[in-house]
Structure 1
Amino acid sequence: MSDDSTSLDLLENLRTLLARLAPGDRLPSSRELIEQHRVSPVTVSRVIAQLAAEGAVVTKPGSGTYVASRAKDRGPAPDTGWQTIALSDRSIDTGPVTDELGPVPNGAILLDGGYLHRTLQPTRALSSALARAARRPDAWDRTSANGLTPLRAVFAANSNGVTPDDVLITAGGQSALSMALRAIVAPGSPVLVESPTYPGALAAARAAGLRPVPVPMDANGVRPDLLAEAFAMTGARAFYCQPTFHNPTGRVLSQERRGQVVEVARAAGAFVIEDDFARLLGHGGPVPRPLVEDDRDGTVVYVTSLTKPAAPSLRIGAIIARGPVMERLRAVRRVDDFFVARPMQEAALELVSSPAWDRHLRALSAALRERCTQLTAAVTRQCPDWDLGHPPAGGLHLWIELPAGADAVSVSRSARDNNVAVSYGNRYFAAETPTACLRLAFAAATDTPELLEGARRLGSLARHGGIVG
């Protein structure tokens, strides 16, 4: 937090300085900025890089940093109106992954988001892994479309009966999900999803020209009887699900239903796309086996990632599939991006092969359990009318049903006005009328005291009528 505050202070000071200077004027040197503002060289470099990205300054190696020309000095704005006609009515629906309330204010308590706070990330282990990977003589060579064999072996080892040949390395879980949907389902076709579900899946499906069709869940996960009806009524050829620590509800598909779901899909001649993003985010209890382990006919296409348990920018994931669908997936990979950057694959392999990785996962499990317990107790105490259901045994979120008459978007807006960011539940529903729900993250905040303060502010809103739309 202190590094972020220092960067923001320097950024504001330099913007004030830029307003007084003319285009082409030279800014103070990095050494002068360090001495004048008492900041580190890293902070100066970061702030200058941000100003350059914004187009406010121009850096000239060996010479210095200069004020960029103003917009009015760059000639008339380009006329891009012709693009509206050329693009026709095609569009990418980013609604499910776009917050209609806008950016989160600086300094707000983050009870939103799907990644670990920096204090929970294995930062030192990541840095060491990346340094070791960069020293490899072949680090910058091309790799196969499938990915590094040793890294594929790591993912294969996590699922019984899976071999490295069944694994395709991807640039994170979202990329894997997008590839799987496009490889399996034809444009214009339906794809079945749990209700509620992960907004990124809805966005990826719609971007591929697919029509998400919701299938209801209960406390034990998706209902197999309704899943069978949905397959019969729609003719869908794929069902996307998160059987373990579901996002957003945190539910786990019951042991009895796990086999039933696969059998229902197999009978319909369809695939199950199993998103197992949270397998390494358990809170210390037993974690059920993935569906793919008990699948022998290639019904299950399995998607996983190292991003959630490590850090947002470790964009390494994997797809496990068998049969012709794997050939289709490899074809998608070849036309999309050829292969995932080798240095990142090497760094991921170094990370998960080190003793530090196991230590991190144990520490993370304990930290998530503590945060989940503390936030659950605080929200229950501060907001007694909010229904938290059964606390999750894994994952990063609490799923809360608001009292009758509440509007989730209005609650989220009121919370943000009080510097608490929460996620409204509307965007987790594919087509049905959304239940008034909130998703509260317990891994994105700085620490437990910040979580408790966030719950206190939400309780104040609830007590003063801030939950009614």
Structure 2
Amino acid sequence: MYDGSSIEALVAILRGEVARLAPGDRLPSSRDLIARHGVGPVTVSRAIALLAAEGVVVTRPGSGTYVAARRARPADAEPDTSWQTVALAGRQFPAERPDEQAGAPAPGTIALSGGYLHESLQPTRLLGGALARAARRPDAWHRAPAAGLSTLRTIFARQTGGDVGPEDVLVTGGTQGALSMLFRALAAPGSPVLVESPTYPGALAAARSAGLQPVPVPMDEHGLRPDLLADAFAMTGARLLYCQPTFHNPTGSVLSPERRRQIVDVARAAGAFLVEDDFARHLGHGRPVPRPLVADDREGTVVHLTSLTKPASPSLRIGAVVARGPVMRRLLGMRRVDDFFIARPLQEAAVELLSTPTWDRHLRSLAGELRQRCLVLADALARELPDWSLLRVPEGGLHLWLRLPPGLTEAALVDAARTHRVAVDPGQHFFAAEPPAPHLRLGFAAAADPADLTEAAARLATAAGRAGTAGA
């Protein structure tokens, strides 16, 4: 038997032995290490492989494992990377967010931040079985087509609906990389891109990395406002709109049926592309989910994004872009430059996953779990923090969006929440311009248990009192 902890333990022991030996000295044989430490041969081989990859040891087949030569370097020497400041001048890239710089959360922290399911909600057994079956296929490790496996493209086309066919689908490694590719493909550096306000921070980062200038367009309780969208197109000359019509992140809103037609018409009249991020297609809470915008678009205005990552696992980096016309040819050209193709074993595993009836059962079970967690957190917040404004109880997605009361700042609350072992997402990161008010995004899917959500609300109430006192 072996596991990650036993490998790590053996690596630590071997590091200690290497530190006491001189370069060129031979380490004990694998047989000796197995007998001495009571581990299996696989554990020994993996531990030695890790040390060899780090350059700590050198393996010589048929001879043994030896301490590698140590590079001479003063113990107090600091690496000088100041030259990079000049080399990187003029190259803009999103900086690390302040909340990301805070480091790992303290033990016992309840996660109301982030955008992934807790492992208890992930179909890990289903994923493991799909990957095992995929690996047994004779062609599992062959090169995949640039556009993706035809079977997987057909599945995504069928899920999208309308007259979308497999030829309109490009398999991607999730949606974040696809967003970066789309922004580079659809607009020239320096161009404006219209976004909802608020919107997904990853989209803002991807747009800025592509050299685009995000321009916010306000929303109301029914989603993006078509009148202000038309004004924004007219004033900026933008040829690109990014939006999330279904279970919008962070607000959870769903674009009303009338507006779903209107914003496509407005974008088409402006000669613009509409990038529809449909990340939450499989995250409904039990009620019917509206058709994607692209299903009713025949002119190629809508470029559609979807993903399996959110309803399955952070490491199932499989998604799809649906596009028509010259833009698809451009995306295929970029694929051949960027990464050639998406790893075939992962695509084969996605085919296995989506082709089994247990996937649909997982989605139905997940819908019930998310609905319960959403209501638990909303009810707990209403009891503990009645002066916080919950803008809506969403019917899908993973988050609640709240406006903080006057006098309570995001920074003070986030710091106090961290002290009380609750991780939250400050609202300022979701705005392309100045936020109109302080907000928080609170997730209900990353906590280990629904009871943790009730405890988190109580901790936030204590943190809010402390933050308010500090602000006064």
TM-score normalised per structure 1: 0.88
Residue 431 (structure 2) aligned to one of 423, 429, 432:
429
Q: Which amino acid aligns with 2:336?
A: R
Equivalent position to 2:459, from 434, 457, 460: 457
Task: Report matched runs for 1:174-253 at 5 Å.
Answer: 174-253=176-255
Structure 1 residue ranges without an equivalent (≥5): none
| Residue 89 of structure 1: how far off its partner (Å) | 2.5
Q: Kindly, what percent of the aligned residue pairs are identical?
A: 57
The one of 384, 387, 393 aligned to 2:386 = 384
Cα distance change of structure 1 residues 89 and 286 upon mapping to structure 2, 3 Å threshold: same
Instruction: Indicate conservation of the 8 Å contact 1:461/1:467, yes or no.
Output: no
Task: Confirm whether residue 334 of structure 1 aligns to residue 336 of structure 2.
Answer: yes
Aligned residue in 2 for 1:125: 126
State the Cα deviation string for residues 252-289 of structure 1 (Å, max 9, x = none).
11111000000000010001100000010000012111
Q: 1:22 aligns with which of 19, 40, 57?
A: 19
CA deviations on 1:231-269 (whole Å, 9 max, x unpaired) are: 000000010000000001111111110000000000100
2:84: which partner in 1? 83
C-alpha contact (below 8 Å) 1:55/1:68 kept by paired residues: no
Q: Is the 8 A contact 1:411 1:467 kept in 2?
A: no
Asked if structure 1 preserves the Cα contact closer than 8 Å seen for 2:7 and 2:47, the reply is no
CA distances 1:17-64 after superposition (whole Å, capped 9, x unpaired): 9679725496994676568xxxx999x799969985995965859967
2:135 equivalent in structure 1: 134
Q: Distance in 1 between matches of 2:147 and 2:469?
A: 50
Q: How does 1:53-452 map to 2 (within 5 A)?
A: 72=73, 79-95=80-96, 99-158=100-159, 159-452=161-454
The amino acid of 1:125's aligned partner reads: L
Aligned partner letter, 2:117: L
Q: Residues 402 and 441 of structure 2 are in contact (CA less than 8 Å); yes or no, is this contact kept in structure 1?
A: yes
CA contact (8 A) 1:23 1:66 kept: no
1:407 Cα deviation (Å)?
1.1
Higher Cα Rg: structure 1 or 2?
2
Specify the SS of the correspondent of 1:440: strand
2-structure distance, mates of 1:181, 1:296: 21
Alpha-carbon distance between aligned partners in 1 of 2:53 and 2:78, rounded to the nearest angstrom: 17
- What letter matches 2:221 in structure 1? A
> The residue matched to 1:140 in structure 2 has which SS?
coil
Q: CA deviation at 1:461?
A: 1.9
Greater Cα offset, 429-438 or 170-179: 429-438
Displacement of 1:379 in angstroms is 1.2
Aligned-residue Cα RMSD (Å) equals 3.3
| Partner SS for 1:251 | coil
CA contact (8 A) 1:23 1:67 kept: no
Could you say what secondary structure the match of 1:452 adopts?
Answer: helix
Residues 11 and 51 in structure 2, CA contact (< 8 A), matched pair in contact too: no
Q: Which of 54-63 and 315-324 deviates more? A: 54-63
Counterpart AA for 2:217: V
SS state at 2:389 partner = coil
In 1, the alpha carbon distance for the partners of 2:219 and 2:45 equals 46
The unaligned stretches of length 5 or more in structure 2 are: none
For the 8 Å contact 2:407–2:468, the answer to whether it is kept is: no
User: Amino acid of the residue matched to residue 393 of structure 2?
Assistant: P
User: Once structures 1 and 2 are overlaid, which stretch shifts more, 83-92 or 168-177?
Assistant: 83-92
CA distance, structure 2, for counterparts of residue 343 and residue 83 of structure 1: 38
Distance 1:426 1:287 in 2: 29
After TM superposition, give the deviation of residue 433 of structure 1 in Å.
3.1
Give the direction of change, closer, same or farther, for the CA distance of 1:465–1:85 in structure 2 (3 Å limit).
Answer: closer
Q: Output the CA distance in 1 between the equivalents of 2:221 and 2:107.
A: 37
- Equivalenced residues, count: 460
SS at match of 1:91: coil
8 Å CA contact retained: 1:405, 1:468? no
Report the 3-state secondary structure (helix = DSSP H, G, I; strand = E; otherwise coil) of the residue aligned with 2:454. helix
Q: Any idea what the Cα deviations from partners look like across 1:386-421, whole Å, max 9, x if unmatched? A: 111210100011111110121112211111111111
Q: Distance in 1 between matches of 2:300 and 2:81?
A: 47
Pick closer, same or farther for the CA change 1:17–1:106 going to 2, 3 Å: farther
